[in-house]
Amino acid sequence: MTTTKMMFDHFGSPDVVTAGEEEQPPPGEGEVQVGVRALAVNQMDWKVVAGYLEPYFPLQLPAVPGCEAAGTVTAVGPGVTAFDKGDEVIWNGMVGGYRAVANLPTAQLTPKPAGIDFEQAACLAIAGGAAYSALVQLGVGVGDTVLIHGAAGGVGTAAVQIARDLGIRVIGTASEQNHDYLRGLGAEPVAYGEGLVERVRSLGSITAVLDTNGGEATTAATVELLGGHGTAVTTVSGKESNAAGIAPVRLLDGRVADAARLAADGKLRFNIQERLPLTEAARALGLSRGGHVRGKLVLIP
Ligand SMILES: NC(=O)c1ccc[n+]([C@@H]2O[C@H](COP(=O)([O-])OP(=O)(O)OC[C@H]3O[C@@H](n4cnc5c(N)ncnc54)[C@H](OP(=O)(O)O)[C@@H]3O)[C@@H](O)[C@H]2O)c1
């Protein structure tokens, strides 16, 4: 059977990603074949397409972007015992996700709880998993106040809800247009940009920071607000965060299952800003690159 994949044969802006067709072979040793029902778009996807990750993860071109998806197992490869035909699964990887049918290693799969739809499940793999890992790494709990830079994005949306479920007070940065959205998630919103430190201070002291934005100004605000006390982690490490001693988020084993459990309990839900057909992946990547997505973008094969 011929199915659709979205691919690029040279690095560049999102519009280098175009539709192609492929015939998937039967799944190999340790793999299952998955009929993908929904894919979530991540900032990493356009960075991969732009070639920014080449120094760390060299790719063989042509390549298929995409690092998180959810779907149903349609065939099982040799040696696979943990999954069966008909199982609903969540996948998190690095690349290769933007396709209608995918052969995926079982080590990258998490069972999808029955109570979550495929769109929500796809969002859990990276944004949910990273947010969950970050809060564990921060070691925060009741009595803490966490500042989340970029609280309206994919990771931020998940982190606010997980933190609130843990009884943590959350102050979240976003543009004005997302402040009601953040209030709805349970965070106290503040605008980023000039005067951020004073605006946060006017709400009280913070004990930890999750930075999903990165960059010089955000890092400087983190350092000033913590004043040598409390912990900070970032999903966007770079020279500024390294110099400031802000630890990169380490993705924990079991994080996707933990995030999925919260979603199944109704405590974690993603705003889907837009759902697009898989063949419009280039447009989705452009939106993601713009840096102002509220929640997540989803592609439907
Ligand atoms: N290391 C990892 O494992 C890992 C995992 C997931 C993601 N990441 C990285 O983490 C970053 C965030 O990912 P994401 O999926 O949450 O991105 P996203 O969904 O694209 O986040 C966009 C959000 O950033 C906000 N924003 C834009 N400029 C801002 C600023 N100056 N200060 C504060 N917020 C600002 C926007 O809010 P407004 O529209 O209100 O401006 C928007 O809601 C990306 O760089 C991604 O690659 C890393």
**Residue 121 falls within a domain, yes or no?**
no
* Beta-strand relationship, 231-234 and 208-211: parallel
pTM of the model: 0.97
CA distance 156 to 131: 7
Closest-CA residue, ligand 1 atom 22, reads 153
| Phi, psi (deg, nearest 5) at residue 264 | -65, -30
Average of per-residue pLDDT across 164-183: 98
Tell me the angle at which helices 43-50 and 281-290 cross, rounded to the nearest 10 degrees. Answer: 100
- 3-26, pLDDT tens digit by residue? 999 999 999 999 999 999 999 999
Q: Write out the residue range of the structural domain in which residue 42 sits.
A: 2-112+271-300
Q: Which of 299, 284, 260, 246 is nearest to 134 (CA)?
A: 246
On whether both 162 and 135 belong to a single domain, the answer is yes
- 255-271, pLDDT tens digit by residue? 999 999 999 999 999 99
pLDDT at residue 215, as a whole number? 87
pLDDT at residue 267, as a whole number? 97
Instruction: Write down the residue that tokens 């990169």 correspond to.
Output: 248
Residue 228 in this model has a pLDDT that exceeds 90: no
On whether both 87 and 191 belong to a single domain, the answer is no
* pLDDT band, residue 230 (cuts 50/70/90): confident
**Residue 266 falls within a domain, yes or no?**
no
Question: Which atom of ligand 1 is found nearest the CA of 127?
Answer: 6
On whether both 191 and 290 belong to a single domain, the answer is no
On whether both 144 and 233 belong to a single domain, the answer is yes
User: What percent of the chain clears pLDDT 90, i.e. is strictly above it?
Assistant: 98
pLDDT at residue 74, as a whole number? 98
Residue 1 in this model has a pLDDT that exceeds 90: no
- Any atom of ligand 1 within 6 Å of the Cβ of 153: yes
- Any atom of ligand 1 within 6 Å of the Cβ of 85: no
On whether both 240 and 294 belong to a single domain, the answer is no
**Residue 296 falls within a domain, yes or no?**
yes
On whether both 142 and 189 belong to a single domain, the answer is yes
- Any atom of ligand 1 within 6 Å of the Cβ of 242: no
285 CA distance to ligand 1 middle (Å): 14
User: What percent of the chain clears pLDDT 70, i.e. is strictly above it?
Assistant: 100
Using CB atoms within 10 Å of the CB of residue 48, give its burial: 0 to 12 exposed, 13 to 18 middle, 19+ buried: buried
**Residue 166 falls within a domain, yes or no?**
yes
**Residue 135 falls within a domain, yes or no?**
yes
- 91-100, pLDDT tens digit by residue? 999 999 999 9
**Residue 258 falls within a domain, yes or no?**
no
151 CA distance to ligand 1 middle (Å): 8
* pLDDT band, residue 217 (cuts 50/70/90): very high
153 CA distance to ligand 1 middle (Å): 5
Domain count within the chain: 2
- Any atom of ligand 1 within 6 Å of the Cβ of 93: no
Mean pLDDT (the chain) is 97
In sequence order, what are the residues at sequence separation of 6 or more whose Cβ sits closer than 8 angstroms to the Cβ of residue 238? 214, 215
